[in-house]
Amino acid sequence: MITLGKMAGNLVEESYLVGEVPPHMEGWPVLPPEVGPNWRLVDGEWIAPEPKLEPVPEFVSRLQGRIALHRMGMLEAVEAMTQQAGGEIWIAWQDAGNFYRDSLLIAGLAPHFGWSEADIDAMFRLAATIKV
């Protein structure tokens, strides 16, 4: 069995595992077994496509958010900061049933902890994977 690739420039558009080369695939390049659609051939090296990230959830449950922060080693620091901030931040931290990605709570925590937008997205993706 060999893998043949339909190319568009240096991009693999389609790949097929075949026993014999069919006439309509004659001239198609033979690909290494691990190469498939969306791989690129750059200077003689096969480059894998960037992995597709799961969409960022709009919200996660309080439980998911707290476990994610715990796994990241940040739960105690976030709890201390929100308690020290007091007011609506403390109330939101203590009583929210869900944590929303675009909430004022998250926007207020981010600069204090140096979280980038990508960091927050990663935290929400992690939290969404937590099932209890």
Tens digit of pLDDT at every position of the chain (132 positions) = 889 999 999 999 999 988 888 888 888 999 998 999 999 999 999 999 988 888 999 999 999 999 999 999 999 999 999 999 999 899 999 999 999 999 989 998 999 999 999 999 999 999 999 998
Is there a domain that residue 53 lies in? no
Q: What is the reported pLDDT for 68?
A: 96
CA–chain centroid gap for 36, Å, is: 21
Q: What is the reported pLDDT for 120?
A: 96
Residues 42, 86: one domain? no
Do residues 56 and 123 make contact, with C-beta atoms less than 8 angstroms apart?
no
Q: What is the reported pLDDT for 110?
A: 94
Residues 41, 87: one domain? no
Residues 41, 69: one domain? no
Q: What is the reported pLDDT for 26?
A: 87
Domain hosting residue 34, numbered range: 2-47
List, in order, residues 6 or more apart from 95 with CB less than 8 Å away: none
- Domain count within the chain: 2
Kind plus residue range of the DSSP H or E element containing 45:
strand 45-47
